Structure 1
Amino acid sequence: MSIKLIALDLDGTLLTTDKRITARTRTAIEECERRGIQIVPATGRAMKAVPDEILQLPGVRYGIFTNGASVWDIREGKSIADQYIDWQTALKAVERLENYPMLYDLYIEGRGICEAQFLERLEEFGVPPENCRIIRSSRQPVPNLIAYLKEFHCPVQKINLIFREKAVKAEVRQELTQMEALCVTSSLPWNLEVNAQGATKGGGLERLRKHLHISREETMAFGDGENDLPMIQAAGLGIAMENGADFLKKQADAITLTNDRDGVAAAIEQYAFGES
């Protein structure tokens, strides 16, 4: 059965280590558009943190954002499906974490909301320079996040947590998993990502393919991290990057080259185009 939809994680997958799309990968995506294959960014990022270079790629009309909490028709500027944390649950979560040595921000209405100290202390918490640049360019500072939630009662797409100590990350993860309304995952060694229970990239892929009347067998997905596992499992063909987590590679249908060696392009050429 031919591939009609390809879901692509961004960081560590579509993008190289220095956050570029290679010429070979861009050519493969352009060929997908010619063949009528939907290219779908599937990321933990909020939509407004995704560069226009990606949103304007040939064939990109739909996106799966904030780990599947938001499925969006980019061209029409409207939501297809969403699954958010209600503001009361988000408030309980962040209040439980107030005394831990960590940083956090909230994804609300497609953008990151944070306190000023969050932006000022990124390097202190070991966040790599390129990630610092992306974060600072896509966040809106507010005086106090707890006060913001109490005042505006905003549903939250995702809570993003940053740690400098693995032990603290593990302790916080255990604390949050006790809240049944939440799903806790991670995409980077120094972060945790908290969504509503059931909001995953895999769930987002399933909702989108049904919206487009595409069967599971006609979908393909790429990823490298923990938050990509549900999407790899939900796709007809799940591809793990060679640079990906070992447990993800064990669950994938196939493993491609690294993100710095045109892994996405190589697998698209082989499996979607039938090239040897």
Structure 2
Amino acid sequence: MIKLVAVDMDGTFLRDDRTYDKGRFLDLFKRMQQNHIHFVAASGSQYQRLRHEFTEVADNMDFISQNGAIVHQGDQLREIMPLSDNQVHGIIATISRLFAKHDVNQEVVSGLNGTYVNADMDPEALKIVKYYYRPVISVSSLAQLVGQTVNDQFTKIAINFAETVDFQQARTTLKAQLPDFLSSENSGFNTELIGLKEATKRSGIRALQKLYNIADDEVMTFGDNENDLSMLTMTPNSFAMKNADAHIQKTAGNVTQFDNNHDGVLAAMAKAL
């Protein structure tokens, strides 16, 4: 029996136009609550953005944000795996050393309370950042960002590469220069998310499993990208999206009948529930 459903957002639960069938979802959510099934949004994005996507039910669901670094039960913080200031500065320095400024569209440091960008970020790039993160705070230099000064705990660094960059080569170069305790995962859209290796969507789900006493085979997961692999490989009830790359589909127990633009997650949930 399924007791917890965890869904990635972009490319999975959301259509490409960043919408979903809210009426159909709310009907399914009501049925899940009646059957004591927990619903989880699991994303590389920030908690504040995820709550906004599910305004009507946000206090009655769970959130795994920033690729597993932060876990909320409704509005209650349950787990956080922060980076130290020195670790953040080291990552920023590595990015600056490896890549020219024109190779990087966006460089973002995310924390529990906010997201931080350099004050000179291109305005068009900033608009995109503000969709995925909130609030977005401009600072004079990410390389000098201090958690105590801004009253925050940092958890992830996102780097979005320009379309002119060979993304696979860039991410291979980046991964080779990171220390062993850090990992870098493809979050889609030419973006790498860098954080503690132990902070994954799987670790976030594990925290909720412990809270609710749920076994792996009682979990259902949905995803479409590399940063979803940890939760796609944890349960036989995992679904890679029809629109996911073949190597992602091969890791999951199932593939959805429909893609994200045709509500593949909601269709699979309705059939299962």
Cα deviation 1:156-206 (Å, max 9, x = unaligned): 210000111342663354234431121100121321111101111111111
The CA distance in 2 between the partners of 1:80 and 1:132, in whole Å, is 25
> Alpha carbons of 1:137 and 1:210: their partners in 2 closer, same or farther (altered >3 Å)?
closer
Trace 1:38-187 onto structure 2 (pairs within 5 A): 38-57=38-57, 60-75=60-75, 77=76, 79-99=77-97, 100=99, 101-102=103-104, 103-122=106-125, 131=128, 134-135=131-132, 138-149=135-146, 152=149, 155-164=153-162, 165-167=164-166, 170-178=169-177, 179-187=179-187
Contact 1:161 1:193 in 2 (8 A): yes
* SS of equivalent to 1:234: coil
**Could you tell me which residue of structure 2 aligns to residue 244 of structure 1?**
244
Matched, 1:267 2:268: yes
Unaligned runs of 5+ in 2: none
State the Cα distance separating 1:14 from its structure 2 match: 1.2
> Alpha carbons of 1:89 and 1:176: their partners in 2 closer, same or farther (altered >3 Å)?
farther
> Alpha carbons of 1:117 and 1:246: their partners in 2 closer, same or farther (altered >3 Å)?
farther
Give the TM-score of the pair, scaled to structure 2.
0.87
> Alpha carbons of 1:135 and 1:237: their partners in 2 closer, same or farther (altered >3 Å)?
closer
Matched, 1:207 2:207: yes
Identity score, percent: 22
Contact 1:226 1:245 in 2 (8 A): no
The two structures, once aligned, show a CA RMSD in angstroms of: 2.4
Unaligned runs of 5+ in 1: 124-128
State the Cα distance separating 1:222 from its structure 2 match: 0.6
Matched, 1:222 2:222: yes
**Could you tell me which residue of structure 2 aligns to residue 126 of structure 1?**
none
Structure 2 residue identity aligned to 1:70: I
Contact 2:108 2:158 in 1 (8 A): yes
The CA distance in 2 between the partners of 1:68 and 1:216, in whole Å, is 17
State the Cα distance separating 1:149 from its structure 2 match: 3.1
Matched, 1:198 2:201: no
Cα deviation 1:53-80 (Å, max 9, x = unaligned): 42543784321110000111223x3x22
Contact 2:232 2:239 in 1 (8 A): yes
The farther-off stretch of 138-147 and 61-70 is 138-147
* SS of equivalent to 2:109: strand
The CA distance in 1 between the partners of 2:230 and 2:133, in whole Å, is 29
> Alpha carbons of 1:81 and 1:177: their partners in 2 closer, same or farther (altered >3 Å)?
farther
Structure 2 residue identity aligned to 1:184: S
Contact 2:68 2:204 in 1 (8 A): yes
The CA distance in 2 between the partners of 1:65 and 1:58, in whole Å, is 13
> Alpha carbons of 1:205 and 1:147: their partners in 2 closer, same or farther (altered >3 Å)?
same
The CA distance in 2 between the partners of 1:38 and 1:25, in whole Å, is 14
Alignment coverage as a number of residue pairs:
263
